[in-house]
Amino acid sequence: MKQGTKILTLDNGYHLWTNTQGEGKIHLLALHGGPGGTHEYWEDTAKQLKKQGLDVQVHMYDQLGSWYSDTPDWDDPAVAKNIETYEYFVDEVEEVRQKLGLDNFYLIGQSWGGALVQMYAAKYGDHLKGAIISSMVDRIGDYTDHLAQIREKALTPDELAYMKKCEAENNYDNDRYQELVGKLNDQFVDRKKPAAIAHLTETMSVPLYNAFQGDNEFVITGKLKDWNFTNHLKDIKVPTLVTFGEHETMPMETGKRMAEMIPNAKFVSTPEGGHHHMIDNAPVYYDHLATFIREVENGTFNK
Report which residue type is found at 15: H
Which pLDDT score is estimated for 170?
93
Q: pLDDT grade, residue 64 (50/70/90)?
A: very high
- Strands 240-245 and 128-134: what pairing? parallel
- Any residues with CB less than 8 A from the CB of 227 and at least 6 apart, and which? 115, 137, 139, 140
Q: pLDDT grade, residue 16 (50/70/90)?
A: very high
Q: Report, as an integer, the average pLDDT of 36-47.
A: 97
Question: Is the model's pLDDT at 91 over the cut of 90?
Answer: yes
Which pLDDT score is estimated for 227?
97
Q: Report, as an integer, the average pLDDT of 234-260.
A: 97
Q: Is the CB of residue 129 less than 8 Å from the CB of residue 105?
A: yes
Q: Report, as an integer, the average pLDDT of 256-263.
A: 98
Which pLDDT score is estimated for 155?
96
Could you read off the pLDDT of 266-291 as tens digits, one per residue? 999 999 999 999 999 999 999 999 99
The overall average pLDDT reported for the chain is 95
Helix pair angle (157-168, 175-188), 10° resolution: 120
**Length of the chain, please?**
303
Asked which of 22-26, 187-191, 289-293, 294-298 is least confident by mean pLDDT, the reply is 187-191
Question: Is the model's pLDDT at 104 over the cut of 70?
Answer: yes
Q: pLDDT grade, residue 1 (50/70/90)?
A: low
Which pLDDT score is estimated for 2?
75
Compute the distance between CA of residue 106 and CA of residue 193 in angstroms, rounded to an integer.
27
Q: Which residues pair with 27 in a beta bridge?
A: 57
Question: Is the model's pLDDT at 62 over the cut of 80?
Answer: yes
Please name which of 12, 19, 16 lies closest in space to residue 40, comparing C-alpha atoms.
Answer: 19
Could you read off the pLDDT of 144-192 as tens digits, one per residue? 999 999 999 999 999 999 999 999 999 999 999 999 999 999 999 998 8
Compute the distance between CA of residue 296 and CA of residue 129 in angstroms, rounded to an integer.
8
Question: Is the model's pLDDT at 228 over the cut of 70?
Answer: yes
Q: pLDDT grade, residue 112 (50/70/90)?
A: very high
